[in-house]
Amino acid sequence: MQILALCLTRRGWLFACLASLLALIAPLGVTLANETHPMRFEQLSLRDGLSQVAVVTMLQDADGFLWFGTENGLNRYDGYEFVHYKADRGNPDALRNDFIYSLAEAPDG
């Protein structure tokens, strides 16, 4: 009854039309994306080498590496194994902090 009343108003009608259109178009985008870039992802855990199970952010770079930001440093995954990057006070090239909450790829890679 509430849905019917929502659809009868002008805003409700527009919302219903847009939602229906999105429901029809969204599967097409997923299908096209999967055809051009096939990807299979399984669960990764501590057993696989992830430094912490709580992943805060992730990114796939232009080279195909998956990067996982956690509260315990940065993890790079090549599809086979992890490489961990952590803060090191004596190393100016190391991370400043182990809490990685955001990732972005630089324009030059």
pTM comes to 0.60
Beta bridge partners of 58: 68
pLDDT digits over 18-57, tens only?
555 555 555 555 444 445 555 565 788 888 889 988 899 9
Burial 73-109 (b: 16+ CB within 10 A, else e): bbbebeeeeeebeeeeeeeeeeeeebebeeeeeeeee
pLDDT digits over 72-97, tens only?
999 999 888 999 999 998 998 888 88
End-to-end CA distance of the chain: 54
Classify residue 87 by its DSSP letter: B
